[in-house]
């Protein structure tokens, strides 16, 4: 049975104990490039160094594993967070009054804690009162550790994991959004490594150098020794070299060119879903989706609100007073609009189905809303002034009388 002393994983990666996940990832990648067997062929020291930093990264890059390591000083798949906390809280596995002090006692094995070597420990009552209480605490702790888990933590690491979704914001011109268009995008995403086909390893399996093929190692903690599943091979006794392309991460970053069809009538903020075009999954998991968020550009004349088009049109004072038929711009070209006599400035007139074709409802179109802006000419000469004065005599009413009545 292989024996492993407590290792300083932080020291192996050259980072502080307070290092962030990103700092740990960068430190490992830097060292992996330096010590990888492909870069150092036939160099046993470099190979052993690479295995050590790989083991350190495997533990410190996983928040749950790292927490257990920080509490116990070592990591094993057979120890869950609750057990680690109980150990840390009690200052050792003797929490709750259990007297486990090194001495000349006999070796002991129990069915609930199979694989532990208790030789060299005194299991007598510490102080005469802690025997039953301590044994209960001891039994609870080790039943948590070995209560049928059987290496489940290692097995979970290879479960299929769904890839994450991606979002890209795309600027679309005013007319392209109305009429529809096909756009080419360059999308950077995580794709399955083609070198290892997403397995993260290459080459034939070899005997694990840490447990020497047994699948278990002996670790020390809290003054005790016990057998745990080998963290390097997960209990299989076999290891494979990390893929030199993805460095064991199973995915690589790639930039892909793809076409996106923007439907006629697409609105600002609308999301287009491209199934399976997000980040690749791991261990056979499905890829995520890519969501394209449309941002529609503005126009100097037209303003769009949903499927309706708004436009402000200047109208002469006599056209507004007498009524007229005028040409107004629409997204289809010129259209004729009837101005009723007595039209006021700011009044809105509607042109039915002169708006944007709906992207969600077939054969439906919005309307065009025309806002009237009455243009009053200046009285440049005496004749024009006399005409306005004559008009004033014909309409002597105060146009603000209604306003004052409400004040």
The arithmetic mean of pLDDT across residues 209-235, rounded, is 80
Determine the pLDDT at residue 362: 77
Q: Which of 129-138, 363-372, 398-407 has the highest mean pLDDT?
A: 363-372
Question: Which residue, among 34, 68, 77, has the nearest Cα to 52 in the 3D structure?
Answer: 34
pLDDT band of residue 20 (cuts 50, 70, 90) is: very high
Render 220-271 in DSSP notation, one character per residue: EETTEEEEEE-TTTTTSSEEEEEPTTTTTSSEEEEEEEEEEEE-TTPPTT-E
Give Cα 135 to chain centroid, integer Å. 46
| CA pair distance 56, 68, nearest whole angstrom | 13
The C-alpha torsion from 100 through 102 and 105 to 106, rounded to 10°, is 80
The arithmetic mean of pLDDT across residues 210-214, rounded, is 89
Determine the pLDDT at residue 86: 65
Please state which of the ranges 74-88, 96-110, 178-192, 326-340 shows the lowest mean pLDDT: 96-110
Tell which wins on pLDDT, 158 or 391. 391
The arithmetic mean of pLDDT across residues 250-275, rounded, is 92
pLDDT band of residue 87 (cuts 50, 70, 90) is: low
pLDDT band of residue 98 (cuts 50, 70, 90) is: very low
- 147-200 pLDDT, tens digit per residue, is 333 334 444 456 788 999 999 999 999 999 999 999 999 999 999 999 998 888
Determine the pLDDT at residue 89: 66
Please state which of the ranges 1-5, 224-228, 316-320 shows the lowest mean pLDDT: 1-5
Determine the pLDDT at residue 219: 74
Determine the pLDDT at residue 330: 96
- Mean of all residue pLDDT scores within the chain: 80
The arithmetic mean of pLDDT across residues 277-306, rounded, is 92
Please state which of the ranges 209-218, 287-296, 321-330 shows the lowest mean pLDDT: 209-218
């Amino acid at each position: 049975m292989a024996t492993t002393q407590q290792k300083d994983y932080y020291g192996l990666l050259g980072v502080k104990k307070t290092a962030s996940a990103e700092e740990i990832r960068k430190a490992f990648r830097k060292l992996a490039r330096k010590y990888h067997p492909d870069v150092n062929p036939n160099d046993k020291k470099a190979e052993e160094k690479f295995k050590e930093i790989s083991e350190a990264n495997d533990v410190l890059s996983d928040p749950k594993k790292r927490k257990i390591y920080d509490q116990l000083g070592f990591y094993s798949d057979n120890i869950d967070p609750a057990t680690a906390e109980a150990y840390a809280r009690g200052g050792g596995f003797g929490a709750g009054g259990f007297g486990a002090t090194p001495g000349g006692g006999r070796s002991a094995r129990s069915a609930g804690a199979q694989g532990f070597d208790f030789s060299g420990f005194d299991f007598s009552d510490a102080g005469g009162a802690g025997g039953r209480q301590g044994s209960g605490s001891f039994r609870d702790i080790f039943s948590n550790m070995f209560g049928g888990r059987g290496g489940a933590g290692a097995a979970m690491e290879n479960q299929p994991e769904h890839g994450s979704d991606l979002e890209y914001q795309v600027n679309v011109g005013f007319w392209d959004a109305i009429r529809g268009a096909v756009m080419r995008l360059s999308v950077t995403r995580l794709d399955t490594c083609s070198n290892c086909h997403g397995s993260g390893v290459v080459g034939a399996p070899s005997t694990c150098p840490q447990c020497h093929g047994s699948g278990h190692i002996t670790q020390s903690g809290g003054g005790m020794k016990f057998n745990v599943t080998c963290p390097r091979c997960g209990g299989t006794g076999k290891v494979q070299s990390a893929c030199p392309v993805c460095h064991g991460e199973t995915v690589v970053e790639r930039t892909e060119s793809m076409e996106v069809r923007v439907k006629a009538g697409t609105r600002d903020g609308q999301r287009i879903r491209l199934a399976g075009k997000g980040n690749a999954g791991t261990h056979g998991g499905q890829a995520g989706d890519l969501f394209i968020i449309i941002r529609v550009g503005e126009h100097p004349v037209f303003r769009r609100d949903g499927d309706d088009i708004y436009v402000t049109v200047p109208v002469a004072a006599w056209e507004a007073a007498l009524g007229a038929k005028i040409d107004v711009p629409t997204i289809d070209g010129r259209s004729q609009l009837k101005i009723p006599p007595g039209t006021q400035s700011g009044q809105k007139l509607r042109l039915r189905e002169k708006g944007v074709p709906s992207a969600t409802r077939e054969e439906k179109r919005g309307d065009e809303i025309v806002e009237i802006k009455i243009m009053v000419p200046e009285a440049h000469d005496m004749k024009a002034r006399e005409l306005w004065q004559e008009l004033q005599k014909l309409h002597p009413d105060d146009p603000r009388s209604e306003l004052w009545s409400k004040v």
